[in-house]
A = this chain, B = another copy of it.
């Protein structure tokens, strides 16, 4: 075994880092991921440094802003999220694709409360996040269009209803972690049954949708905001 890191492919943004710097970087990312998931993305930077066992100077040298840390921590998960939408677009059954996206996004949200907050909150500095979010949003719009065209999704379903559902699911995720997944699955099943065109016939019209868009709605309350 060699400690020469130039012989293994370096992760993006790590080129030229010495082994100890790389080690610190990994510890910070692990600590931040854990803190974001369990507490939320507003966890103090000092708490992340403490968990990682590094000083504040080291933390800020590696990640000058909270946004840069969030972008890096959630990069894989954001890709997973986009690929959930991409997979659904490749599904020959538009309704199956639509419901799979809904089920997977809600399950991801319950599993990691930091992730969806990061996904839905606008970070001006996080260019990659913004691009991926727009891509996910457009992909979901296309899925919605196809599922309606196939006559499986009710015509009055709106894009904002996805955000509405993620907000509602966020209320479940914020409760007792133990039963959150069970509760979320049941909520999603109820909503999907209501979204189906076959069951929407003859119902009274829905009240208007709220003006929600993925990029504007932070749906988990910032933890500790009133502390």
Which residues in A have some Cβ–Cβ distance to B below 8 Å? 39-40, 43, 161, 164, 167-176, 179, 182-183, 185-187, 189-191, 193-195, 199-200, 203-204, 206-212, 217-221, 223-227
Nearest CB on B from A164, distance (A): 5
* A161 and B186 contacting across the interface, CB-CB below 8 Å: yes
Write out the residue numbers on chain B whose beta carbons fall within 8 Å of the beta carbon of A183. Answer: 164, 167, 210, 212
Instruction: Closest B residue to A172 by CB, please name it.
Output: B167
Given contacts A182-B207, A223-B226, contact A190 B189 (CB under 8 A): no
Nearest CB on B from A43, distance (A): 7
**With A182-B207, A224-B226, A227-B227 given, can you name 12 additional A-B contacts, CB distance below 8 Å?**
A164-B187, A167-B172, A168-B187, A170-B174, A174-B174, A175-B217, A176-B217, A179-B210, A183-B210, A186-B206, A191-B194, A199-B203
* A211 and B167 contacting across the interface, CB-CB below 8 Å: no
Write out the residue numbers on chain B whose beta carbons fall within 8 Å of the beta carbon of A189. Answer: 204, 206-207
Nearest CB on B from A144, distance (A): 15
Nearest CB on B from A113, distance (A): 10
Write out the residue numbers on chain B whose beta carbons fall within 8 Å of the beta carbon of A194. Answer: 190-191, 193-194, 199
Write out the residue numbers on chain B whose beta carbons fall within 8 Å of the beta carbon of A219. Answer: 171, 174-175
- Among A161, A209, A226, A227, chain B packs the most CB atoms within 10 A around the CB of A226
A43 to B225, CA, bound (A): 12
- Among A167, A171, A208, A210, chain B packs the most CB atoms within 10 A around the CB of A171
* B190 and A206 contacting across the interface, CB-CB below 8 Å: yes
Given contacts A175-B219, A191-B194, contact A186 B164 (CB under 8 A): yes
Instruction: Closest B residue to A179 by CB, please name it.
Output: B210
A204 to B203, CA, bound (A): 20
Instruction: Closest B residue to A196 by CB, please name it.
Output: B203
Residue from B39, B171, B207, B218 in contact with A226 in the complex, judged by beta carbons closer than 8 Å: B39
Write out the residue numbers on chain B whose beta carbons fall within 8 Å of the beta carbon of A191. Answer: 190-191, 194
* B208 and A186 contacting across the interface, CB-CB below 8 Å: yes
A164 to B188, CA, bound (A): 11
- List the 7 shortest-distance A-B pairs measured between CB atoms, nearest first: A227-B227, A171-B171, A168-B168, A224-B227, A194-B194, A183-B210, A170-B171
